[in-house]
Amino acid sequence: MKHRYLSVLIFVLLSACKNEAVAPTNENILRAFTPGIAAPIASDLVRADGDEWIVTVASPQSVRLFEFPVTNLNASRIAYQASAKAEGVFGAAYLEMWVRFPGKGEFFSKALDTPLQGNMDWSEYSAPFFLQKGQAPDRIRLQLTFADRGTVRLKNVRVEKTPR
């Protein structure tokens, strides 16, 4: 009887897990930005509310959120990720990450394929950037870009690194 119960339990657990995405480990997270701990660059346009950042704009613009130095990112995939919710967003809003390379300038990744528009409930968004062997950025800047006016709520804002 015990073996039958154990077999059924294992089957149920494996069935429940087979379609679930694997959560990233802490070692994959380069940086996370939590209200009350991190301070956004554009503090006049961004406010904290519990575990959320609320970004409100009245006209088209890119809102600078966070910037930080990086090292040892050679030949990896980095991704600006966040949970986001749109409230009255005209046009579109999207995540934008700028990656700076010493002596070469800044290059960007924009999540144009998954814009926030109108009123949208919470969902995950990502702006990936693929680094080739030998590329060594020294700085990353995270932004939220609006094509018009609106409000976007962000939480679980982070940059993750995975090997290529």
Mean pLDDT of the chain: 86
Mean pLDDT of 74-80: 92
Is residue 135's pLDDT more than 60? yes
Cβ atoms < 10 Å from Cβ of 57? 21
Q: What is the DSSP string of 23-40?
A: PPPGGGEEEEE-BTTB--
CB 82 within 8 A of CB 66: no
Classify each residue of 64-94 as buried b or exposed e, where b means 16 or more C-beta atoms within 10 Å of its C-beta.
Answer: bbbeeebeebeebebbbbbbbbbeebeebbb
Q: Are strands 29-33 and 116-130 parallel, antiparallel or unpaired?
A: unpaired
Of 18-27, 34-43, 116-125, 153-162, the one with minimum mean pLDDT is 18-27
27-163 CATH fold: Jelly Rolls (2.60.120)
Q: Where are the domains of the chain?
A: 27-163
pLDDT of residue 74: 81
Q: How many residues appear in the chain?
A: 164
Beta carbons within 8 Å of 58's beta carbon, 6+ residues apart: 149
Are the beta carbons of 92 and 150 closer than 8 angstroms?
Answer: no
Rounded CA-CA distance 94/111 in Å is 6
pLDDT band at 24 (very low <50, low <70, confident <90, very high): very low
